């Protein structure tokens, strides 16, 4: 499932075709929208769920947001709700800022354990970056986190060879070359995460679902969201936020946001 979905051409995808409400989600760091398939299925019948996947270009939140917004407008797909997990939430926020700048009311935001701009520090070293990539990958595949590699030493080729073997033992056959490509995408997105520094706030309702992020860090969003956000904590950490056990609660919270803002 993962290989098929992430070997596509990127761009705009329909995860669930229906009517209203329409939720649009932006890929997390590293690309791929498999993590959203379970969420789309957990929402009530009748919802439309679309997603923007990485197109292979862009290393800034502003570039990604502008590209994805043009795709949405080109399909007349301006959603009722807009969001994403991790980096995806930042890109969704920038899409909302672009709409506000064009004097179009931005939709309510769904920020899934998304760090506020300016809180992601500096670019991690190679070893830390590789482990972040493993965490994202394992979560997207729905694999038990305790079976993920705890260290990935050596150069990229060696590290991805070890990762491919670990995935194979967990029942997922992904080639080293594919993993290398995704690692490079993750690095590009990590640069976007670190460099994003918007100056002006927007006025739109938002739901912040936090996993690994501390409450005091998440509340840094208040300077960029003129409408006081709803903040809900879910157990399990960043990489398990969209695990099957959490999906009913996440879907319910999104439905509540939609009902409030109709």
- Pick 120 or 197 by higher pLDDT: 197
Angle at which helices 87-101 and 61-74 cross, to 10°:
60
Per-residue confidence band for 238, with pLDDT thresholds at 50, 70 and 90 = confident
Q: Report the alpha-carbon distance of residue 234 to residue 105 in Å, rounded.
A: 29
- Pick 76 or 229 by higher pLDDT: 229
pLDDT tens sequence across 178-197: 999 889 998 999 999 999 99
In a domain, 143, yes or no: yes
**How many domains in the chain?**
2
Question: The domain spanning residue 37 has which CATH number?
Answer: 3.40.50.1820
Q: Which helix (H) or strand (E) element contains residue 6?
A: helix 2-6
pLDDT tens sequence across 10-61: 799 999 999 999 999 999 988 889 889 999 999 999 999 999 999 989 989 9
Please give the pLDDT value at position 169: 87
- 3-state class of 4 per DSSP? helix
- The answer to whether residues 144 and 168 belong to one domain is yes
Chain centroid offset of residue 6 CA: 14
- Across the chain, what does the average pLDDT equal? 89
Q: Report the alpha-carbon distance of residue 196 to residue 62 in Å, rounded.
A: 8
pLDDT tens sequence across 62-79: 999 999 999 999 988 899
Q: Rounded mean pLDDT of 117-134?
A: 83
Please give the pLDDT value at position 261: 86
In a domain, 174, yes or no: yes
DSSP type of residue 75: T
pLDDT tens sequence across 198-208: 988 999 999 99
Residue 7 has pLDDT above 60, yes or no: no
- The answer to whether residues 34 and 148 belong to one domain is no
Please give the pLDDT value at position 63: 96
- The answer to whether residues 153 and 106 belong to one domain is no
In a domain, 232, yes or no: yes
Domain range for 168 is 126-191
- The answer to whether residues 72 and 25 belong to one domain is yes
Which long-range CB contacts under 8 A does 160-167 form with residues at least 24 apart?
A: 163/134, 163/137, 167/137, 167/141
Single pTM value for the model: 0.88
- The answer to whether residues 160 and 109 belong to one domain is no
43 Cβ contact list (under 8 Å, min separation 6): 16, 23, 49, 251, 254, 255
Q: Are the beta carbons of 81 and 107 closer than 8 angstroms?
A: yes
- The answer to whether residues 59 and 100 belong to one domain is yes
Please give the pLDDT value at position 111: 97
Residue 244 has pLDDT above 80, yes or no: yes
Please give the pLDDT value at position 126: 83
Q: Among 78-82, 156-160, 212-216, 236-240, where is mean pLDDT lowest?
A: 236-240
In a domain, 121, yes or no: no
Per-residue confidence band for 1, with pLDDT thresholds at 50, 70 and 90 = very low
- The answer to whether residues 73 and 165 belong to one domain is no
- The answer to whether residues 136 and 153 belong to one domain is yes
- Pick 92 or 161 by higher pLDDT: 92
């Amino acid at each position: 499932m993962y290989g098929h979905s992430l070997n596509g051409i990127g761009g705009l995808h329909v995860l669930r075709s229906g009517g209203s409400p329409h939720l649009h989600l932006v890929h997390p760091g590293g690309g791929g929208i498999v993590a959203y398939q379970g969420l789309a299925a957990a929402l009530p019948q009748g919802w439309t769920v679309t997603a923007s996947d990485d197109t292979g270009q862009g290393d800034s939140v502003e570039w990604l947001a502008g590209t994805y917004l043009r795709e949405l407008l080109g399909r007349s797909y301006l959603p009722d709700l807009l969001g994403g997990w991790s980096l995806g939430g930042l890109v969704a926020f920038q899409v909302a800022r672009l709409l506000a700048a064009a004097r179009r009311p931005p939709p309510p935001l769904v920020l899934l354990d998304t760090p506020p701009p300016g809180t992601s520090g500096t670019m991690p070293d190679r070893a830390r970056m590789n482990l972040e990539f493993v965490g994202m990958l394992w979560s997207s595949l729905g694999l038990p986190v305790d079976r993920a590699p705890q260290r990935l030493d050596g150069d990229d080729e060696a590290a991805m060879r070890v990762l491919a073997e670990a995935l194979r033992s967990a029942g997922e056959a992904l080639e080293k070359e594919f993993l290398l490509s995704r690692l490079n995408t993750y690095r590009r997105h990590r640069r976007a995460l670190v460099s994003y520094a918007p100056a002006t706030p927007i006025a739109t309702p938002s739901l912040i679902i936090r996993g690994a992020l501390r409450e005091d860090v998440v509340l840094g969003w208040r300077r960029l969201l003129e409408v006081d956000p709803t903040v809900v904590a879910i157990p399990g950490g960043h990489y398990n936020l969209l695990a099957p056990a959490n999906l009913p609660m996440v879907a319910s919270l999104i439905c509540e946001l939609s009902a409030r803002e109709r």
